[in-house]
Amino acid sequence: MPLYKAPIRDIQFVMHELLNYEAHYDALPAYAGTNRELIDGIVEAAADFSENELSPINRSGDQEGCKFDNGVVTTPKGFKEAYKKYVELGYPSLSVPVEHGGQGLPGSLGNAVSELVGTANWSWGMYPGLSHGAVRTVEGHGSPEQKELFLSKLVTGEWTGTMCLTESHAGSDLGIIRTKAEPNADGSYNITGQKIFISAGEHDLADNIVHIVLARLPGAPKGTKGISLFIVPKFNVNADGSVGSRNTVSCGSIEHKMGIHGNATCVIVFEEAKGFLIGPENKGLNCMFTFMNTARIGTAIQGLAASEGAFQGSLAYAKDRLAMRALSGPKALDKEADPIIVHPAVRNMLLTQKSFAEGGRALVYFLSQFADVVEVAEDAEQRKAADDMLSLLTPIAKAFLTETGSESAKHGVQVYGGHGFIAEWGMEQIVRDTRIACLYEGTTEIQALDLLGRKVLATQGAMLRNFTKIIHKFCEANAGNEAMAEFLKPLAELNKEWGDVTTRIGMKAMQNPEEVGAAAVDYLYFSGYVTLAYLWARMASLAQEKLAGDTTERAFYEAKVKTAQFYFKKILPRTRSHVAVIDNGLDTLMTMDVDQFAF
């Protein structure tokens, strides 16, 4: 199995050249002074940790998996030691405000660390990853007492956190959850119910686990308007912040899964467990969205990680594996056959992975800048504009990058041929590990409905226009650059078509709202391809500028331009099929009676 090598140069390209992180931070007083030296130092240290601590236990963690014994979960060999070092290095507190015991660094910088950790070992990375959302939820909605009791230990990493939403009968339909919360005389609540699919819900890495739980109060309204949010610790916490008696929270079982074997996916049982209301009564879902947006960006990073990891493994193998001769004549005359990287079909898979990995990185880091603004900008209008952009781009990033990550992982197996099906090579693990990313934190189909229904049509296209204006201005600004014509013409046309397609769907939906569901997934794919096209055009423009100057990295920048050309000519035409499917509408989906599906 190839060991992970952090793509530091490309991360620096995106951060410093494409998105100018240093200037971005200086424009936000809370992050001013986060200079390039500090940024690069953190990225390089995280790269070292990921390469040398996490990557070596990735496959062994997959093979060993988590062990369950009467409610006790043991993580794979090496996981606990790696977590201890992660805490010692201070990563849990990286992007937490100083007033809450953190280092006060930007969340976007934390997302870069998450990419490195996740690509090296996604199963391990989920343990601290879930804590980030718990920290943000307590930080944003907890009382001063709750912050004092729970937040400090979450920030240091001494304790970890989870989000407990899903129940076996409910899935993503949180309006029908049944977990209940009964008030006690001392202001606490007895939480009773069962949650499923709780990642990192039980483990041996930390002294306590703080569960963030959705439940219903007595007499609460039905549906999502009657859900409240609670802090329920695995161990009760004494007044001085020390760990007390065991709460009546238990792990009923862990799931036997397709992938992410090194992470415990748990059934968590609450039996009148002591919990504490966080935020207002019946507003739990509003508070939880603090957690959900963090989690969805984190899941988008998993898609990026899958594309990067699959590309690295595929490229190494394609350079080394000999098979057949090039149709145009032998390329490796000193060998009995040519390396498979010379064959167009293999190059197509490699360039697809590369374009999704590097384009996905640009999208995640671009999205993360808006999250920074929402988090700390002092101007309310600036925060609102960034929040609108974040709302539009988050479902695109989550769904599109996880689906393209899954595609890249499939190509990884294919490049290896029969060896790709063998565990020792590591490609099939990426397929298994990343498939869940298309499902959790809202399936691709749910993200698509959120994008088209809530973010686009429900705002009469306002959120979409905010972004298409940015693309339009980019095309206008570069209109006189002949070298950019091959990118600008298709981008401008698709940008206009994005609005036209939206209008056509909206008109149909006025007659039958089911048209939204029929179009949503293809609309999301179309949106994803165009969004990445905009970022690839920006990267191509920047690379051309560098090549026109006196650069010592010609090969790097030439590769950027060539990958952009590949994306535009070989990937972007996929939009045509998605538009055709959208325009073909609802009819053929709904004409068959339910009984006719099986006969």
461/68 Cα distance (integer angstroms): 49
Q: How far is CA 313 from each of CA 324, 353, 487, rounded to the nearest angstrom? A: 21, 11, 29
Query: Do residues 68 and 253 make contact, with C-beta atoms less than 8 angstroms apart?
Result: yes
Q: Is 17 a catalytic residue?
A: no
- What is the DSSP secondary structure assignment for residue 94, as one 8-state letter? T
Number of neighbours of residue 172 by Cβ within 10 angstroms:
14
- What is the DSSP secondary structure assignment for residue 261, as one 8-state letter? T
Q: Is 594 exposed, middle or buried (0-12, 13-18, 19+ CB in 10 A)?
A: exposed
Q: From the candidates 441, 445, 545, 558, which is the catalytic residue?
A: 441
551/171 Cα distance (integer angstroms): 53
Number of neighbours of residue 589 by Cβ within 10 angstroms:
12
Query: Do residues 25 and 106 make contact, with C-beta atoms less than 8 angstroms apart?
Result: yes
Strand partners, 215: 228
Query: Do residues 486 and 503 make contact, with C-beta atoms less than 8 angstroms apart?
Result: no
Strand partners, 407: none
Sorted by sequence, the CB contacts under 8 Å of residue 337 that are 6+ apart come out as 322, 323, 324, 325
| Helix or strand (DSSP H, E) at 72 | strand 72-74
Q: Which of 9, 21, 134 is nearest to 371 (CA)?
A: 21
* Alpha helix (H) residue ranges in 377-461: 380-416, 427-435, 444-449
Query: Do residues 366 and 389 make contact, with C-beta atoms less than 8 angstroms apart?
Result: no
Number of neighbours of residue 574 by Cβ within 10 angstroms:
12
Number of neighbours of residue 3 by Cβ within 10 angstroms:
15
| Helix or strand (DSSP H, E) at 211 | strand 208-215
Maximum separation of any 2 CA atoms in the chain, in Å: 84
- What is the DSSP secondary structure assignment for residue 52, as one 8-state letter? I
429/170 Cα distance (integer angstroms): 29
319: tokens are 């350079």
* Amino acid letter, 506: G
Which sequence positions are flagged as catalytic?
A: 441
